[in-house]
Amino acid sequence: MSKFLKFIVHFAVICTIVCVLGLALPPFFGVRTVIMDSTDKATNLPLGSVTYAIPVRTEEVTAGSPILVQEDGKTYKYNLVSVNRENNTGTVIDTTTSAQESITVSVKNWVPKIVITIPFVGYLLVATESVEGLIVLGLVILFLIILYVIAELWRKDPDDDEYEDLQGDTRHVKSSRELKAEEKGVKLLLPVDNRIGDDFSNDCNIQVVKRGEIPDGWEGMDIGPETEKIFADAVKDAKTVVWNGPMGCFEMPNFAHGTEAVAKALAETDATTIIGGGDSAAAVNILGYGDKMTHISTGGGASLEFLEGKELPGVAAADDK
């Protein structure tokens, strides 16, 4: 639904831009533009229409061609019947009337031949000529802004999309991040469920919900049991594990399950385990797995930058000595 709302907004904006450019640019290319924005003008062109005409040599205009005739501030659309070059006059008919009587008009070397008449576009200009019209335009713009905001709020992250396969098992639509990681041979694991609470407290009400289904008034406090198993299984056969950041609010016993499950899995593996960051270091020590880890550092961000290949001032200074 959010895509549909965005489509409406984008379509309206694009149409508005096209209309503005269509009104402003043609005169610069020699195209005569006639905008009917008032009922006070003497014309047979419909109100709100925009008519485009290009100059064509009189000899090249064929009978039946629509031309634009402007005399004494009056603008009319006629169909050319014939041209008399001796006295520079032309015979035309008005197809908008039932009588369609012949009319004689002055004709010069060039005749503005009508290319197209577009209805309704001129109403944009009509709207700007009155307070009421400006109010309507303002309300339309406000409505489009509200639609766009609703579309943004309604938008679901692709990470939260789920579907059922033919066996009835729940599957997750892979996000762009997961797909990019897979292209580089990296398996990116994201939580599939969460332990949530209605207050930032150990004694709050607790639920386990699937990814993307945290209701209003609740907050994610820990990974869920299904995610615990996925993460624990992922490190079993690893040769090196770098852990930066606990799985949840491990300081609260009711929300330490995810962090403990991962710490226990690391303690039971033969991999080289590197724990980076003050919270992660505190977590493994508080939960009793500190002595089972290969290396523990309180430098979380620094350790990640080191692995990224960035130069750390302290390490660089130590190397110099």
**How high is the pLDDT of residue 67?**
93
Is the pLDDT reported for residue 7 higher than 50? yes
Stretch 278-304: mean pLDDT, rounded?
90
Percent of the chain with pLDDT over 70: 92
Residue 185 DSSP class? T
Distance of CA 3 to the CA centre of its chain: 8
| pLDDT exceeds 60 at position 195 | yes
pLDDT of residue 246 exceeding 90? yes
In the three-class reduction of DSSP (H, G, I as helix; E, B as strand; rest coil), residue 130 is classed as coil
Q: Is the pLDDT of residue 250 over 90?
A: yes
* Across 25-50, average pLDDT: 87
Compute the average pLDDT of residues 6-31: 86
Tokens found for residue 167: 């066996």
Lowest mean pLDDT among 27-36, 92-101, 157-166, 204-213: 157-166
Q: Which of 220, 228, 225 lies closest to 189 in space, CA to CA? A: 228
Tokens of 57: 């040599």
Tell whether the model's pLDDT for residue 38 goes beyond 80.
no
Pick from 46, 45, 24: which is nearest to 33 by CA?
24
Left if phi > 0, otherwise alpha if psi is -120 to 50, otherwise beta: which for 73? left
At 158, is the pLDDT very low, low, confident or very high (cuts 50, 70, 90)?
very low
The pLDDT value given to residue 1:
56
Look up tokens 């379509």; give the residue.
11
Tokens representing residue 277 in the block? 């960051």
Q: Which residue has 């501030």 as its token pair?
A: 73
Residue with the bigger pLDDT between 124 and 32: it is: 32
**C-alpha–C-alpha distance, residues 159 and 221, integer Å:** 19
| pLDDT tens column, 97-124 | 887 888 998 888 899 999 999 888 877 7
The more confident residue out of 150 and 128 is: 150
pLDDT of the residue at 248: 93
Between 123 and 81, the more confident residue is 81
Cα angle at 30 between 24 and 35, to 5 degrees? 45
CB atoms within 10 A of CB 152: 11
* CA 311 distance to own-chain centroid: 38
Residues listed for the chain: 321
Write down the pLDDT at residue 162. Answer: 56
Residue type, 222: D
pLDDT of 39 > 80? The answer is no
Per the prediction, the chain carries an average pLDDT of: 85
Angle at which helix 257-267 crosses helix 278-286, to 10 degrees, equals 80
Residue pair 36/119 in contact by the 8 Å Cβ criterion: no
Q: How far apart are CA 295 and CA 244, in angstroms?
A: 12
Which two tokens mark 36? 């009917």
The CB-based long-range contact list for 299-305 (8 Å cut-off, 24+ gap) reads: 300/244, 300/245, 300/276, 301/277, 302/276, 303/242, 303/244, 303/274, 303/276, 303/277, 304/244, 304/276
Q: Which of 32-46, 75-89, 100-114 has the lowest average pLDDT?
A: 32-46
Indicate the pairing of strand 272-276 with strand 240-244.
parallel
